[in-house]
Amino acid sequence: MKKKLISLLLCLCIVAACIPTVSAYSNVSDWAKESVEAMSTLGFLPESLSTADMSKNITRGQMCQMAVLVYNDFMGTPGVGPDSTKNFDDTNDPAINYAYEQGIVGGYGDGRFGPNDPLTRQDFFKITYNMMGTALWDEPLTREMLPIDSFDDAGNVSDYAVAAARAMVTIGVVQGDGNLLRPKDYTSCEQAIAMFLRAYQYLTVWLNAKNEENKKVEIYKQGYSNISTWAIREVEEMQKRGMIPSVLDNCDMSKPITRAEMCAMAVTAYGKISGETYTAKSTDHFTDTSDPDVNAAFELDIVGGYGNGIFGPDDTLTREQFFRIMANFMKVIGYPRDDTRAVTLSAYNDGYKVADWAAPATRLMVYTGAVRGDGKNLNPQGATKIEEAVAIFLRCYKYTVAWKEAHPDGEPELDEQAALISDLLAFAKSFEGYPYVYGGNGPNSFDCSGFVLYVYRHFGYSFSRGAQEQYKDGMHVDFDDLLPGDLVFFTSYGGNNWTNSSFRNITHVGLYLGDGYFIHASNPTRGVVIDTLWSGYYQSHFWGACRIIKD
């Protein structure tokens, strides 16, 4: 009943929405085709540019519309922005007024904006510079920008645009024409689009690098040291979740973790997921340690000893021992499987070195994505660094929590396909919080189509890279028939596939989780997040869906 109600509300909304216009831009130079197509696929070409002659000059109004689409994507509010106050005598365009109110553009000073006037290159520099600054780009305040004196016509740049021109040259958005900036020449549509894509790509990478650096600063403030770049995000998340035990306070993360330290982490995490602290009933299970965490982990069936009463609390934990402990932990907190037929260790160069007793757990770690590595070696007898243990522990924890949320009453009687989709969705949700980077294919960052492709490839399914082509690769399904695991598609223009309009209108894709929720690599400021299909923007911009895993 709930699904039908949601479906009815969505259908009412999309019937009322406007039908998107098929992108039919023309006269694109060979050098600009890739950039124009990329901006169209990203949903950053406003309707006024989606049918434009790309060799013609872009107008000031069109530039505003494009800048607002990119700005709002960074700010986590897709679209062209809300209706705004009329700020100019010669235009009511909400995008222009919104861009003015956000400090992205200015007018001529006499109440006019000149929405249909052609855009000069120096005005392009200034608008792009303003857009990046309002989207949190503060690099010009901390980094020396290159001079523009090497350009023969640098003296022609108006004073208001000098700082912007220097910034655009420094970051490679503007590369000049020979040795000329041509600041007062007009900007063609394809030139503006190509340069703006460079700005978007640069700002995306810069913003993520800044976020990662902030995480590094915060986690180092906690007293930890020597954390590899790849591990910063997961160490910080574990620390915020309170799942790094006190025995690891102020530790060197590059050092091997001991068996006792691993027990402390497991017991701490068990308390988080169960909501209660587990206290060992006895501290006499081993002859070489009375550590309460070791004994608690033993009673919970997370760890075992060497036999003869020996545990070896200070011994270094090998990776295959660690894999076995993690498989035990996942089972204790609710994940039902302890092996999988979907993984063959012979695919790894050193897979044959995995001991028989550790092989099922190792396969499970690979299957759930907890162990990623370089795809070639598992290093089963190698020492487990603390940062490795922390990161893999978090992945196992998030995977299991996601699986349990979908199966609160335990594992139902699932056929093989349903079980696969259940694991696929748990895997996808383990990436919640990861950053968005245009062109990102994983495993550390993604864009929207790269994310869904990465998730499916992990389980042996492969299809096209772009969102528009992905829609063509699957079996089309109606909203009423959506199932978990389906791909859901959106358009930036508003409206839907009500009239079977071109798939070229698709600008975004996510992975449907069920009950109206989907997970997607949203934008540079939000990263991988879970949203609802009936939330304002996604409800009115839903376009269609397809199924990859068919009966």
The residues annotated as belonging to the active site are 448, 508, 520
Q: Which of helix, strand or coil describes residue 510?
A: strand
CB 220 within 8 A of CB 272: no
Count of CB atoms within 10 A of residue 36's CB? 22
The DSSP code for 181 is -
The DSSP code for 256 is B
CB 510 within 8 A of CB 425: no
CB 396 within 8 A of CB 368: yes
Phi, psi of 447 (to 5 degrees): -105, -175
- Residue 538 burial class via C-beta count within 10 angstroms: exposed 0-12, middle 13-18, buried 19 and up: buried
* Cβ-proximal residues to 471 (8 Å cutoff; 6+ apart), any chain: 487, 489, 503, 506, 509, 544, 546
Can you spell out the DSSP letters for 440-461? -BSSS-B-HHHHHHHHHHHTT-
* Cβ-proximal residues to 538 (8 Å cutoff; 6+ apart), any chain: 490, 518, 531, 532
Provide the token pair at 175.
């590369």
Report the half-sphere exposure of 490 (CA within 13 A, side-chain side). Answer: 29
Provide the token pair at 496.
């839907």
Q: From CA 143, how far away is CA 204, in angstroms rounded?
A: 17
CB 392 within 8 A of CB 521: no
